[in-house]
Amino acid sequence: MASTEPAAEPPVAGSEAPDRPSDEAILQQQNQIRAEQAKVSEYVGQEENLGALKAEYENGNQNFVQKIGKLEERYRTFRRTRGDGNCFFRGFIYAYLEGLLQNSDLAEANRFMSVVQSWKAKLVEGGFQELVFEDAMELLLEQVKEVTKASDQFAQEKLLVNMRDDMVSNMIVMFLRLVTSCEVQRREDFFFPFILGMYDEPPATVELFCQRHVEPMGEESDHLHIVAVTEALQIPVRVVYLDSSGLPAGGGGGGAGALEASCHDFVPDSCPPGTAPRVHLLYRPGHYDILYAKSG
Amino acid sequence: MAVDLGRIQKELKEIERDTASGVTVHLKNNSLQHLTGYVPGPKDTPYEGGLFAVEINLDNGYPFVPPKMRFINKVWHPNVSSQSGAICLDILKDQWSPALTLKTALLSLQALLSSPQPDDPQDAVVAKQYISDHETYKKTAKYWTEAFANPNATAPEEKIAKIVEMGFDRAAAISALQEAGGDENAALEKLLG
């Protein structure tokens, strides 16, 4: 599982409560883990053939191999994201911006920019301080303007460079987290059942959930985050769930008995049912990467 | 990663404007990454009347990583190390989010002074006393507040008044005096920058 949290806290020398490492020690360990991950993978990797994914499982669980084989019928390539707990948000926005760029979709870009701008007032109303998100919002809008200017190789490279930049990339992830949090809190009645019973002490509220599991960087995303952000920005997303389970995917009805990764479409209320997803993500327990559908 | 200086500057301006919050932040050696915060002790607690200085260091990753904060004054509190001033507070660790600011963090410290969490201690000795001998805890905390966080110890009223007369803000005068260890001229030099 890709996690930014140390599984076990290191013991710390000292005269005080011995099971409590200092803030410094915890931060230091977190930074160390981040630095190690940064060495292994970029925030957003290069496009790779699905064969590279299959190779990971060749000597392991054959259910994965079968399912990836099936995926190859519909998907061309994939792109890894760093497993730092922000992979959903980062993969989602990268794939979306890349789609705008490749399709030179000016109408969609304009729609998206006006939705993003509409969140300014909603965030302020939701109690977020402008100084916290205004620069991040500008950065996101700049990226959109940038990708609609040209759709050549250079523009594509530039998007990759920007989304690998600590500041730009994290600011945009932060903005998406705040929008997600705000959406969840604005529609408390709808989202409360999702978190009901998550913890007793203190009792679960959507506000507390957002403070603990949506707003902090590195908190992993779940069904709830995806529903909220796709709804908030009105971007349909398909998530393909790849796990080791051995049951054939229901409803597919394809090859008899063939194992197939199940998928789930997140279609915002404003889009007609069946709207084609703009972003395809591959979920493996604990992690999201980007998928590229075959054209046609 | 380059630190987001723009964000820090905006935060400092906002804290300066919002005098109602009671907390203040001042630059240390003209660096935006090394600051000193001041938190007034909350009313009806053993910390009332104290002004608590907090060392604030901002890593390059701020605001994506929490600010490093510790008390400079000695504080007798279950969630503060009586030795080092290290603070046990979730938002300074894994519960930090970039939606929070230095101001909200300092206000959270003030809230922590009001409501100690002895079940999640930083200082086991203080926590034990808090639970088993609450009266002694209160007396000790009050004594430490008077001894180590008394704004008048290094910033007596007459010195503050003199600096305020010269046109400086009262809170700034107090913190400058504290930083200068009570030396009025050194404090003035700091204020005049």
Cβ-based contacts under 8 A for chains A and B: 85
Q: What is the CATH number of the domain that holds B31?
A: 3.10.110.10
Q: Lowest-pLDDT range, A228-237, A273-282, B172-181?
A: B172-181
* Superfamily for domain range A53-247+257-293: Peptidase C65 Otubain, subdomain 2 (1.20.1300.20)
Q: How confident is the model at residue A7 (pLDDT cuts 50, 70, 90)?
A: very low
- Across chain A, mean pLDDT equals 87
Which residue is closest to A129 within chain B, CA to CA?
A: B99
pLDDT at A9 over 80: no
- What's the pLDDT tens digit per position in B149-181? 887 776 677 788 888 888 888 778 877 877 777
Same domain, B89 and B109: yes
Give the A window 140-179 contacts with B, CB below 8 Å: 166-167, 170, 174, 177-178
Neighboring chain B residues of A216 at a CB cutoff of 8 Å = 94-97
- Cα gap A222→A230, rounded to integer Å: 12
Q: Cα angle at A195 between B107 and A260, to 5 degrees? A: 130
Residues B106 and B72 in one domain: yes
| CA dist list (Å): B153 to A151, B36, B76, B141, B160 | 66, 18, 18, 17, 11
- Same domain as B85, residue B47: yes
Do B115 and B127 fall within a single domain? Answer: yes
pLDDT above 70 coverage of chain B, percent: 96
| Whether residues B85 and B165 fall in one domain | no
- Based on the fold, state whether residues B84 and B161 are members of the same structural domain: no
Taking CA atoms, A71 is separated from A50, A95, A174, A241, in Å, by 8, 18, 32, 11
Same domain, B41 and B63: yes
State pLDDT tens for residues A73-120: 999 999 999 999 999 999 999 999 999 999 999 999 999 999 999 999
What per-residue confidence (pLDDT) applies to B162?
Answer: 86
What's the pLDDT at A296? 55
Is B167 found in the same domain as B124? no
Q: Is pLDDT larger for residue B6 or for residue A296? A: B6
Assess whether B9 and B49 both reside in one domain: yes
Tell me the pLDDT of chain B averaged across its residues: 90
Hey, which bits of chain A come out as E strands? 44-49, 75-81, 237-241, 262-266, 279-284, 287-293
Name the DSSP class of A212. I
Domain that holds residue B178: 152-192
Asked if B145 and B160 sit in the same domain, the reply is no
Peptide bond into B63 cis (omega under 30): yes
Given a contact cutoff of 8 angstroms between Cβ atoms, the answer to whether A123 and A256 are in contact is: no
Residue B166 and residue B89 in one domain? no
- Interface check for B119 against chain A (CB to CB < 8 A): the answer is no
Q: What is the mean pLDDT of residues A185-191?
A: 95
Q: Which of A125, A123, A89, A132 is nearest to A235 (CA)?
A: A89
Q: Chain A partners of B1 at a C-beta cutoff of 8 Å? A: 166-167
A131, B7 contact by CB (below 8 A): yes
Residues of A in contact with B6 (CB under 8 A): 135
Total domain count, chain B = 2
Q: Is residue A15's pLDDT more than 60?
A: no
Question: Does residue B168 share a domain with residue B136?
Answer: no
Closest-CA residue to A230 (of A92, A102, A107, A97): A92
Alpha-carbon distances of B139 from A188, B43, B146, rounded to whole Å:
45, 15, 11
Mutate: best of B16, B64, B129, partner A, most A CBs <10 A: B64
